[in-house]
Structure formats: structure tokens, C-alpha cells
Structure 1
């Protein structure tokens, strides 16, 4: 429970125009019954703030004795309850009741997500794009959740789904499978893809099958907790390569070829750029683009370099 001093500070902040943190509400798809009442919203975060505001409006405490309005230095409201403000400083009272709180509504039936949000909010860790996206619901959410149960994610990828890292990868796979090629997979594109397909269940079912087929052939190639999959950018390139080869009926690469590709790229040591062969230049460019993990051009270039290597060493 907040102390009276902390409650007073909140009211002081509101009256002086300072920002306060958002109130987070959970909107249930179907109203739930609580104490004999059917309610549509549950509070995720902001209870102490709301109780402080309601407590002041109900006369449970007064403003601090040293309260002043920073705009003009007026101290006439100091030490007064809300009821007293209505009698003597009605403009201040009216201003307080007209303030619009910043409220964020989360529409989901995923209780685990709500609990995770509560934990993060109370640890002052902001939600990332994948967490916010999954909170909005839609057709892609159950598809992504099903995809990350695939053995490729559960057994082969050497990092867990903390902060929905697997979810984010699976959504990128869906985007690229639907496009049929590497495209930008930055936050804006992923958000648009998620929201544009909220009701296209039949279309997305086919894309899901295509992604799952690629994962089916990828999983046996890699070892459990495979170090080749430690880099998210390389996982993306591998998926694009396997997906392309599966669609074109080309041989599926084996782990030793992928490992050798990494070794060959790591062995370059050249004094002058003019001494590099075109292939070696491509390898260096492949690595220089490693940080552009969501850029369509970078993904296309890296895919082509890997593809040429695999064709040459089949």
C-alpha cells in the first residue's frame, strides 16, 4: 500500500501537469463474472495510482501542506481535501477531474501473457515488439505459438523463448514464406503483416504448412542446441536457404557443408583488397551485412552467397 505522502505526490504531479505512467487494462473477449457482476476489463497495472486518485476524490487525505502550483506559485490549495477545493478553488478541482489518464488496453485471452506483462511492468522492463504484438491477438498468434513447439525451436535452437525470441523468428519465417523471397522484416513490416492478416485464417494456413515443411527438413540437419544456430541472423539465412531448396526440389544441405561454409569465411586474412577473388569479396560482404538481420537486400545477398557455396560443394 502506498503511504499518504506518496499519494499526495501523485495528486501534486497531476495538478502540476507532470506525466505519470500508463494504466494497463486487460479487455476480456467475453465478459467475466466477478462478485456477481459481469465485467469486461481487468486491471493489469496501475492499482495504486487509481486508488490514490479515488482516495483523494473521496476525501481520504488532503494535499500536502507545502503544495504549490508551479505555473504561478499559488499555494492556496495547500492542505485542502478535494471537497474543500470544490468549495474554495473550484477551478483546480475541475481541472483535476478533467484530466485524461493515459490508458493502454490489452486485448487477449492469454493469461500467461498478462502475467508476464504484470511482472515486466513492475520490474520496469518495457515490453518489446514481439510481446506487444502477441498481446493484440489475431489469426497469426496461434499459428506462431504452434510453430515454436516444433523440435527445431525446442531442441535445436540454443536459446530459449525468453521475451518471445522464438515467436519473433517464427513470424519472420511466415512473412518470408508468404512473400516467397527475402523481404524487409523490421518492426513496421512485422506489425503490418500481423495486423493485416488478423482474419485471413485460410490463407495463413497454407503459409504455416510451408514454414512447417521447411522446419521439418531443417531439424534433422542440426544438432541439439547447435552452435550453428546461436546467431539469429544466420538462422534467418538458413531458413531462407532450406525453404528455397525445398520449393525448387534441390538437395537439402547437410550440417558439415554449413559448418565448412562458416570455417571458410573465417579463414580469410588478406593484406590488400585487390588480391581478393570475387568469391572472397562476397564472403567478406556476407559478414559485413551480418548486423542487418531484418533488411531484405542484406538477406537476399547473404542467401545468394550461401546458395552458391552449397551448389559448388554439393
Structure 2
């Protein structure tokens, strides 16, 4: 039986061929491998600089999917190389310029410095169009599971992908789909919970997954990468609680909106995911206990946030020395070892005591 490697053909194609294939949608990104575009502009510029210098870039892996019966064109999916091809397409579409701050010092005085693609000389534009890419075509007969294994092994010793991005490639089932659907809720964007880099690195999906994992396993489980993998595997094929968990998640989000209430200080406070995680868990407690947060909890949380970094307000809002001590303890727990089980459980207990 032929090995996987023996079912991969290596060909050389110009950038022109690749761009034409992308524009004609014969070549597409498979988001089940890499959900978001990861590279920043400085990374894109470095790649274009490499091409203009005439140096090779890493191989591209494409998966042959099916043939279009009308045109005879082979449909291709990008397994590995999304960032590289995306950067090339963006540059050719004039979406960024080759700013000098991102170029090597030896190239700052070159004619292409500061230029967009359309502003380059014909010589430089042709150098890009004619640049040869080494492409590995993965035969369509290869099973998806083997393609995923290959993708993971290609990236296992590469720091460009974090554990959540690798999980996105390995698991395409019910659990990650549930998290992805929740990530589309307007709550995250309206309060700027995740920055651009968070979204690119799928930190939003990991955070949402941590809450769903709490629903399934309880607070007593550590939020380690091993446990994330365990839950993704356990609920990959079948996630019967998906609808109920999503409804509960959206209810927690709605109760969080009540607590934020347009308060910019609370909004800034919750940008730290440790605080948001703790608030979500304590809201879960109040939903189970009394159907949601009441005015008392809303007012107490506002006082808690105001007192967090202001000792005068700490004393003014909380006369009880025990509560003052607990808030100081919460601060310490929020700055060291935030993911540990004991740490999270204690933060949860403190927050419940303050809000009740």
C-alpha cells in the first residue's frame, strides 16, 4: 500500500497561477484547519521582501478535493500556507505597502520601499508574478483524518500555531461548532472583550470553551490544555447538551450586560479574562439560585470594581475587615496561577460572598 508521502505530488507553480486560482475560487481556505488569518502586516511585508530578494519560501500544501464537472477544474483546499498565500494576495490587491520599518536595513533604500504593488516598477511586479512556489498536492483519495494528522505534524514543532489553533484543525465536531457560534454573539465586539490578536489566535474560542467545559465538568476541573483536548474529544461527535448549554451561556451574557450597564470602568475591568471568567461563574451560581442577578448584586459588583485598585474606596464601600481582606486575597489570586483549580474555586467563593 502506498504511503501518504507517495500520494503527494510536488509541483512548481508561479504566483500568477496561485492568485488566478484563488480569484476563481478554485483554491480556497479550509477554515477547519485554520480559522483566522494570523499574520500581522509586518509579517506580510517580510514575506514580500523575501520574494523580491529572490529567496525561496516554505512549501505550500494543497488538498485536491473534487473536479468541477462543468469546467474540469480541480477544486483545491489550502492545508498549510494560508498566511503566506493570504499575504501575497493582499499585497497584489494593494492592501498594504512595504513600509521601511518592517524591511531589513539593507533594503530600506531599495526602489520598492514604501510602495504598494500597483506602485512598483514593472520589473518588481513581474518578479512577484513569476516567482515560483513549491507546492505539494495531496491526492483527493487520502482520508481527511490523515490530512489532519499531517497538518498537526507539520505544525507540532512550529510556534506559529497555539494549542487552540491546533485543536481547531483536529476537531471539527459539535463542541467547537458550539463555541464558534457563541463567538458570533455581539457581546464580545460591543465591549471589545477580545482584541484583534486574540481573535487571530482563537483566544475567544478557548475562553468560550472554558465556560462550556465548566458547564460539563464543573469548577473542579483544571483548565489545562489536556483537559480542553479531553472535552473536545468527548463531545466531538455528539454533544446532546449543546442547545441547553448555549441558551445558558447567552443567559449569562445577558446578565453580564445588566452588571456592565454602560459602566466603562466595569467594561475595562472585564477585559482581563480572569475577571470575566470569575463573573460568568458567579452569575451561573445566581441563575441557579434565584434566576439571575438582582439589583443588590449589580450594585455590589460595581463597588467591588471601584474598590479593586482604590484603597480609599475599599474602606468606604466595605466596612467589614473580613471583606476587605477577601478582596485583597482575590487580587493576589488574579495575578498569579490564575488557571489552577484551587485558585479559581477560591475566587469564585470570594465573589459570591461579596455579592450575596
TM bucket, shorter chain = 0.5 to 0.7
The 10-residue stretch of structure 1 (165-174 or 176-185) with the greater mean CA deviation from structure 2: 176-185
Shift of 1:280: 3.3
2:134 corresponds to = 51
Q: 1:43 to 1:199 in 2, by over 3 A?
A: closer
Give 1:176 shift. Answer: 0.8
Distance 1:289 1:51, change over 3 A: same
Q: Deviations over 1:148-184 (max 9, x none)?
A: 2223223134433342222121111101111243531
Could you tell me which residue of structure 2 aligns to residue 298 of structure 1? Answer: 343
2:282 is aligned, of 234, 241, 246, to 241
In structure 2, what is the equivalent of residue 131 of structure 1? Answer: 165
Q: Answer yes or no: is 1:264 the counterpart of 2:312.
A: no
Whether the aligned pair in 2 keeps the contact of 1:289 and 1:298 (CA below 8 Å) is yes
**Quick one: structure 1 residues 144 and 25, their matched pair in 2 at CA, closer, same or farther if it must change by over 3 Å?**
farther
Q: What TM-score, normalized by structure 1, do the two folds share?
A: 0.59
Unaligned stretches of 5+ in structure 1? 11-20, 55-102, 107-116, 118-123, 270-275
Partner of 2:353: 308
**TM-score in terms of structure 2 length:** 0.53
Q: What RMSD in Å do the two structures reach over aligned CA positions?
A: 3.8
Change (3 A) 1:162 1:38: closer
Equivalent position SS for 1:104: helix
Give the 3 Å change call, closer, same or farther, for CA 145–281 of structure 1 in structure 2: same
Q: Deviations over 1:106-140 (max 9, x none)?
A: 7xxxxxxxxxx9xxxxxx97122222222331112
Per-residue CA deviation, residues 69-95 of structure 1 (Å, 9 max, x unaligned), is xxxxxxxxxxxxxxxxxxxxxxxxxxx
Query: Higher relative contact order at CA 8 Å, sep ≥6: structure 1 or structure 2?
Result: 2
**Matching of residues 185-200 of structure 1 within 5 Å:** 185-200=223-238
Residue number among 125, 129, 150 corresponding to 1:104 in the alignment: 150
User: Aligned pair count?
Assistant: 226
Aligned partners of 1:237 and 1:299 also within 8 Å: yes
Q: Please list the CA deviations of residues 27-85 of structure 1 after superposition, one character each: whole Å capped at 9, or x if unmatched.
A: 58xx332773767864533999983999xxxxxxxxxxxxxxxxxxxxxxxxxxxxxxx
**Which one of the candidate residues 183, 197, 204 is aligned to 1:148?**
183
Residue 168 of structure 2 corresponds to residue 168 of structure 1: no
2:325 paired residue number:
281
Aligned to 1:65: none
**Which residue does the alignment assign to 1:87?**
none
Alignment match, 1:15: none
Written as runs of structure 1 = structure 2, the 5 A alignment for 1:213-228 is: 213-223=251-261, 226-228=267-269
Answer whether contact 2:66 2:75 (CA < 8 A) is retained.
Answer: yes
- Equivalents in 1 of 2:62, 2:210: separation in Å? 27
Q: Is the 8 A contact 2:223 2:339 kept in 1?
A: yes
Distance 2:136 2:244 in 1: 51
Report how far residue 302 of structure 1 moved. Answer: 0.4
Distance 1:104 1:153, change over 3 A: same
Q: Could you say which residue in structure 2 is the equivalent of 1:178?
A: 216
> Who wins on radius of gyration, i.e. which is larger?
1
**1:272 — aligned with what?**
none
Alpha-carbon deviations, 1:183-240, whole Å to 9, x = none? 3112221122112211123233332222222222222332467213121100000000
Which secondary structure does the structure 2 equivalent of 1:51 belong to?
Answer: strand
2:30 corresponds to which residue?
none
Deviates more, 1:251-260 or 1:175-184: 251-260
The DSSP-based 3-state class of the residue aligned with 2:253 is: helix
Within 2, Cα distance between the matches of 1:264 and 1:6? Answer: 57
Once the two structures are TM-superposed, the CA of residue 259 in structure 1 deviates from its matched residue by: 2.4
Name the SS for the 1:287 alignment partner: helix
